Each structure stands twice: as C-alpha cells, then as structure tokens.
Chains A and B, each alone.
Chain A
C-alpha cells in the first residue's frame, strides 16, 4: 500500500517537475525570442538628424548670399548640409 502511494506520489512529482521544466524552458525560449526581436528592433535605428545650419549676418535671410537659407531650400542633399554618405570605399 505504502509502495503504491509512494509510486503515485513519485510519478505525480515527476510529471509536475517535467511540466514545470517544459513550461520554464518554453518560457525562456519565448523570452529569448522576444529579446532577440527587441534587440533587432533596437538596432535598426534611423539615421542622425541634420546638424544645425550656420549663422546669418545682419543682412537677413533674403538674398543669394545667405548660405543657410539656400541650404534649407535646396533640392539637392549635398547642398542641404545633410549627413554625408558613409565612405564609398
């Protein structure tokens, strides 16, 4: 009788342990996948914002001589003082 009880108890403990183990490892796997996703998303960061345009003389922004205003209006990335392309080597 005692043997039967202890066997039942043992098998229940074992099943619980296996279930817990399976749950725990599954949880870890899920957590790992989630952290991998988070890591990937965190790594895909947009490029830097543009740096400040330079100062303007007392003549003001209107006129061809005002380089910052020209940069602000230029359709060309190179003239707009945007971040430069990485090295092209």
Chain B
C-alpha cells in the first residue's frame, strides 16, 4: 500500500513538473473579419517582408532591387519608426546607385519624420559633401553637433566641412574637441594642423603634425604638410627632408608622391 502511494505521488510530480510547452505564433493571427483591419494587417505584413527583401538585396549589393523595395515601403507610408527608416535605407540604395540628389531628398524626408535621427544626419552630410553642397552640409552638421555635442562623427563631419569652406576657426574648435576624447586619432591631429596652418599658427600646426606622425609614422600626407609648415617657418633643410620622406611614404598615392618630389627638388639646400 505504501509503495503504491509513493508511485502515485511520483507520477503526480512528474505530470506537474513537465507541462507541454506552447509556442506563440511568430505573427499574431488576425482576430477580425473587418475588411479595413485585414487590409491594414496585410499592409503591415508587406512592409515587414519588403524591409527584409530590401536589406537582403543591399547585403548582396543589388542596390536597384533594394531601392525598389524601399520605394514601395515609402509609398505605403508606414507609421514611425518604419517611415523614417525606409527613407533612410532608400537613401543608402540611391547613394550606391550614384543618385545623390535623390538620396539627399530621402534623408530630408527621414528627418522630417524623425528630427533627432542622428544616423540620417550623418549620412546626409556625407552625401552633401559628395555632391558638393557644402552649405547644406554645414547646416546639417551644426544641427547634428547641437543635438549631440560629444558625438565623434558630428565633430569630425563639421570639422571637415569647415575646412572645405575656409572656416579654419570652426575646424580648429571641432578637431580640438574631437581630440580631447580621442587623443590617439592621428587623422584629427592632421586636420587640426591644417586649421592651425590656415590661421597662421605654424608652431601649433607643427606640433599637431609631429603628434600625428608619432601615432602613424608612415602618414605621408601629414609628412608632406609638415614640410609645408617648415617652409612657412623658413626651415628649408627640414622642409626638404620632410618632402623627401613624404616621397618615399606616398608610394600608394602617385599625385602626392609627384608633388612631394617636386617640392623636394625645388628646395636648394647649402
């Protein structure tokens, strides 16, 4: 009798400790017969599917197909965050198809829907630089820095645009801030040196270039810039030496190599 009781108890325990596992369906089943609700459900499903198809097409660099999928999503006008995301992804497809004006328009549409979309601002600046619209690039970069003053990409982007538009003071400020958080970023030291050189602060430019070259000794463009700064400072021998070294280090950049060797040969040292 006691054995039977123990067996029954064990059986009860096993039955309660291992209940059958249930799985939720991956997509909720429609619980309506309303035609508009069913249509909305189908549209949502189509949007999800097209996102997947568009991203897959982009992953295999089939930008024409990717653009087609995201254009269709945009036409379906989904709610946020899908609306701005579709415009953002569409812009990437357009940019890869060299349709930069349309890419910029798509990113503006993304930002109209989501004004704090930092990745959209970042990409819009890159596209504006590529299509030569530096005025708009600066406007977006100002907005980007205002929204996220610590963002390395915001500071770098605005610094580059400022250098390209001749605003050396703004470039100096942005690259200075960027280097405060990233002191080993040689490229920012180089760009800060360009700003200092344009402001006539040759000693500061030389210091930044020496730092860049300590971090990246074969940085040919920084070595060339150092030669230019030495020339501005009247140090002919040091300049010639820097141009000679830049000629050697710029083997992957024929244009820089040519100009560096021309500069080296033009300096007559005693």
Contacts and interface: CB of A to CB of B under 8 A. Distances in A.
Contact of A69 (B119, B217, B219): B119
A86 B219 contact: yes
A19 B86 CA distance: 71
A58 B84 CA distance: 10
B216 A80 contact: no
Interface string B154-186: 101100100110000001000000100110111
A57 to B, nearest CB: 7
Contacts, number: 156
Contacts of B160: 46-50
Main secondary structure of the interface of A (DSSP, over half): loop
B259 A39 contact: yes
Main secondary structure of the interface of B (DSSP, over half): helix
Contacts of A82: 152-153, 156, 185, 187
B231 A47 contact: no
Interface in B124-157: 125-127, 129-130, 148, 150-154, 156-157
Given A55-B55, A72-B119, A76-B182, A44 B197 contact: yes
Contacts of A57: 51, 55, 85
B228 interface: yes
B104 interface: no
Interface of A: 36, 39-40, 43-62, 66, 68-69, 71-83, 85-89
Interface of B: 47-48, 51-52, 54-55, 58, 80-82, 84-85, 88-89, 92, 95, 114, 117-119, 121-123, 125-127, 129-130, 148, 150-154, 156-157, 160, 163-164, 171, 178, 181-182, 184-188, 190-191, 194, 197, 215-222, 224-225, 228, 231, 256, 259, 262-263, 266
29 contacts: A36-B266, A39-B262, A43-B228, A44-B194, A44-B197, A46-B171, A46-B194, A47-B160, A50-B156, A51-B126, A53-B119, A55-B89, A57-B85, A58-B85, A60-B81, A61-B84, A61-B117, A62-B81, A71-B122, A72-B122, A72-B148, A73-B118, A75-B152, A76-B182, A85-B184, A85-B185, A85-B187, A89-B217, A89-B218
